[in-house]
Structure 1
């Protein structure tokens, strides 16, 4: 029975692995809970790391090293290391599944600025990379030049590696070793620079048996790099049938996307300059479930949606300038082709508010809606919030109770009051607003009063949509 109880507790706590606060609060329940939670928290200790916690984390890491090493740094300059002599309750490093050398570099450079850090780096790497650890995720810093594969125990340590993130201007010797330890990866994230990109990175792309998740993140676009971009994209041909998740932050240089016949998630980001993206014309992704795009022509996105077959359940489109006709066509493409849609972020122009009603009626599984109002793009536009809120309360499916509104001028108190009053009796809503300027607390106080009534469960306001996670309501 105790074994069963422990297993059940483990499964429950695994569901909370993204909720750090809840996990911390559960550590003190008893010894069993603590023994289960510590490995979960330490599987990726870098995820929530803040600069003010660098010393604390470094102390815990170094507490696993020899006293001889610690004695070398026990001087006044590094007196924060005194706590590292206490023997740790757990071998925390063995719980790590994510090895983030980028964060380790930042940590060391921050704490030991002006000092020779190679000795410290080597010690930390040897603490993490050995036969007692097994990493699934590896993150490498810019211009990585360390031959990590030569560390004793590296082969076993990285034998279950599933994810790699690195820059393509990696050192040749480091790249050679990386190819050896990355044969099992399924996810690859590449940061592509303006210069000094290593063409040998193609071997790293082609070595794994099945890459299913690929992200090409172009740091700064340069036309002279087009030949390199083409080589990178063509190197994915081997994995075309296996790739299910793909992200790129520039217009593709080839027609490689047409080969991804089993694609489930597509993320497109025109980060630098508006381009035609005509390489996506007439493409069909029958298995597509998620589409996220920024600054990509609305016509291209409309065609992609129109060529799906009903599996799309998540659509996020922003920072894409378009007229009323283009806006109407993409809304229609969504409600005609996406019956299983659960989450949507989209601009709704004033002239197309009635199309919103049709979308709500057609998409009966909708759970979260992020509306960008037209006055965000054109401050001269006046939004008829009474009409919008009437449509939302009248036509929203039962499943919809999560809302985000991005506007330039907030609705009048009367409009919000109408919205909340008409929502009474439905699932309490999770509401987040995005407004660059806040004027007074009247709206906040009003919403707080409806929280008391149980009509609004939670409310937040963000000054920028970039800090507001699109489909996450806390």
Structure 2
């Protein structure tokens, strides 16, 4: 059994259904007698597919490791392309303990004799498997890795070290329980650090011309000690090579999520992070996506802010940027201007968290010529109500943003003046809007300046009695296609939520809406009339409240579909109705005669770029694969 293949299966149950011969992808079946394209039987002849077509086929199976394992044995081309998907991101949260150990054992076979000796000198003994496998391996598996998750890599190292110390048998099914592994963390910490650095360095060295494109560094010191304060590897800070031949020179996406604890040597960690950005600035020049999120109880970290700003300035074509503000408020003018000017033609999506100076933020964003999405997450504690926005300073200036999202700002100070300025500058460009902080002035501004909004998400946490009036003013003038409404009334016993209250909201929903999201408490009899008053020909309804996941609300929507709107074909609940058990199978079966899709609700109105950057196609690269040994040595 080839461990390198087994480790990448999705689960033990799935892999158990495959014949044992299919594990070995070091020996794809290329013999003429088994190749359907060379058989003597005309009935069995089939045309050989081009690599482009094979690649497109396997794209549909890229999340099914068990299926990809089966394709490995078709022929050499199928094998190479399947490997590119299997090894694209080997370390992730879905990797099971057993599989992570098998993965590390496979990678150990690529170590040099000197590296193996260093492990042995530190009481880390390799098994016979690594030695035997290193003699027969053909494919350079590290060369296929495009995404590297450092946290889950180190957790896999921990699992392997614990396995070595507790089991000398090759029967990996004897692995101890997870709680035993984590109880041994203090004992294994130094071994994990040493082995991680050796294997990590080997992976970068063996990447050859197909270099890493996506690097993920994250920690959570409260959940996993093993990743808390050693994630900033010496391998990153002191990595060798020039700009062109460095292992990270083709990095396109970098995610850095780190929490600095006061109980640790915080100055050491801060300096290590600063050094990392300073070193990466020398050889990482083509990032498309950068996301940096650092949590620190001490507040602002100007030293990191400066290093991060200079790192961003060194990029040639950054498209997505998500950062916490690490700098002091007084530094905002310089930093926003430098960041935005350096990426003014490439930057398309930005996310700022804990902003403290909106005036300078807006001035900086005005420098971005092709900005599409702006996200604001939370605000730094600062009294915005004492600051006014000078209209003359922004007169004649515009923002090209089409999508504006605000999150976790329901308890923020009064920043309506800044939101109003953003709406005025965006004007007719704005298409998608998510607001969790709403005032009457904001609504009036939207009516007067943003007539083209098609996707709208509104969350009300206060002044609930004015909601019908505000919606009656705003909604009818917009060409809405999707509308999500959240009203925080779950714990409210107010008598304002009458049938007239809900009817006024329902009537204000324009005819153009085809997807309606409901996240508020409404009694079933009132909900029935709410649906009937709505004039929109809805295709999809999403219910975000758990109490609606029962047969009463399901029957109301079925009656609405039968009697009022036969176009409705999709209903989504906050939980999967097939799993939660509040709705019987017979009720679901009856409902599906009228509503085609009844499923779990999806994230509503989420940012358009919240899809991982696609790793550049490797279909051309895998046709001339990087091999450890000659292709001719493949066994049949």
- Cα offset, 1:49, TM superposition: 3.2
**For residue 464 of structure 1, what is the aligned residue in structure 2?**
none
Q: What is the rounded CA distance, in whole Å, between the counterparts of 1:171 and 1:337 in structure 2?
A: 47
* Cα distance change, pair 454–396 in 1 and its aligned pair in 2 (3 A): closer
Q: Note the 1:163-312 alignment, pairs <5 A.
A: 163-166=253-256, 169=270, 170-194=272-296, 195=298, 196=301, 197-198=303-304, 199-217=306-324, 225-227=328-330, 232-238=335-341, 239-240=343-344, 242-255=346-359, 256-258=361-363, 259=366, 260=368, 262-270=370-378, 271=408, 274-277=412-415, 278-283=417-422, 284-285=425-426, 286-293=428-435, 295-297=436-438, 302=443, 306=447, 307-308=449-450, 310=452, 312=453
Q: Tell me if structure 2 keeps the 8 A contact 1:244–1:262.
A: yes
TM-score by length of 1: 0.75
Query: Helix, strand or coil for the counterpart of 2:548?
Result: coil
Distance (whole Å) between structure 1 residues aligned to residue 584 and residue 555 of structure 2? 12
Q: Which of 204, 213, 223 is the aligned partner of 1:129?
A: 204
**Secondary structure in 1 aligned to 2:485?**
strand
Correspondent of 1:104 among 153, 157, 163: 153
Q: Which residue of 2 aligns with 1:146?
A: 234
Q: 1:374 to 1:421 in 2, by over 3 A?
A: closer
Q: After superposition, where does 1:107-122 map in structure 2 within 5 Å?
A: 107-108=156-157, 112=161, 113=185, 114-115=187-188, 116=190, 117-122=192-197
Which consecutive aligned stretches of 4+ in structure 1 deviate over 6 angstroms post-superposition? 77-82
Report the 3-state secondary structure (helix = DSSP H, G, I; strand = E; otherwise coil) of the residue aligned with 1:268: strand
How far residue 185 of structure 1 moved from its aligned partner, in angstroms, is 1.4
Matches of 2:155 and 2:468 in 1, distance apart?
Answer: 44
CA drift at 1:158: 2.7
Q: Does the residue aligned with 1:443 lie in a helix, a strand or coil? A: coil
1:81 Cα offset (Å): 6.5
Q: Contact (CA 8 Å) 1:267, 1:292: kept in 2 or not?
A: no
1:40 corresponds to 2:85: yes
Q: Which residue of 2 aligns with 1:396?
A: 537
2:94 alignment partner, SS class? coil
1:448 maps to: 588
Aligned counterpart, 1:359: 509
Aligned position for 1:372: 519
**Map of 1:378 onto structure 2:** none
CA distance in 2, matches of 1:359, 1:247: 30
User: Match of 1:93, SS?
Assistant: helix
Equivalents in 2 of 1:149, 1:3: separation in Å? 47
Change over 3 Å in CA distance of 1:174–1:407 after alignment to 2: closer
- 1:405 maps to 543
Task: Report the CA distance between 1:44 and its aligned residue.
Answer: 2.8
Q: Secondary structure at the match of 2:196?
A: helix
1:235 is paired with a residue whose SS is helix
The unaligned stretches of length 5 or more in structure 1 are: 376-380, 462-467
Moved more, 245-254 or 50-59: 50-59
Contact kept, 8 Å, 1:243 with 1:262, in 2: the verdict is yes
CA contact (8 A) 1:230 1:254 kept: no
1:49 paired to 2:94: yes
Shift of residue 386, structure 1, vs aligned partner? 1.3
In 2, the alpha carbon distance for the partners of 1:353 and 1:90 equals: 66
Shift of 1:97: 1.9
CA distance in structure 1 between the aligned counterparts of 2:153 and 2:580, rounded to whole angstroms: 43
1:61 aligns with 2:138: no
Distance 1:453 1:135, change over 3 A: same
Number of residue pairs the alignment of both structures matches: 441
Q: Larger relative CO (CA 8 A, sep 6+): 1 or 2?
A: 2
The 2-side partners of 1:287 and 1:109 are apart by: 51
3-state SS in 2 of match to 1:64:
coil
Q: Deviations over 1:441-461 (max 9, x none)?
A: 452435432366373434348
Deviation at 1:179? 0.8
Question: Is 1:337 aligned with 2:478?
Answer: yes
- The 3 A distance-change label for structure 1 pair 430 and 141 is same
Structure possessing the higher radius of gyration over alpha carbons: 2
The 1:242/1:346 distance shift into structure 2, 3 A limit, reads: farther
Q: TM (normalized to structure 2)?
A: 0.58
Q: 1:146 to 1:234 in 2, by over 3 A?
A: farther
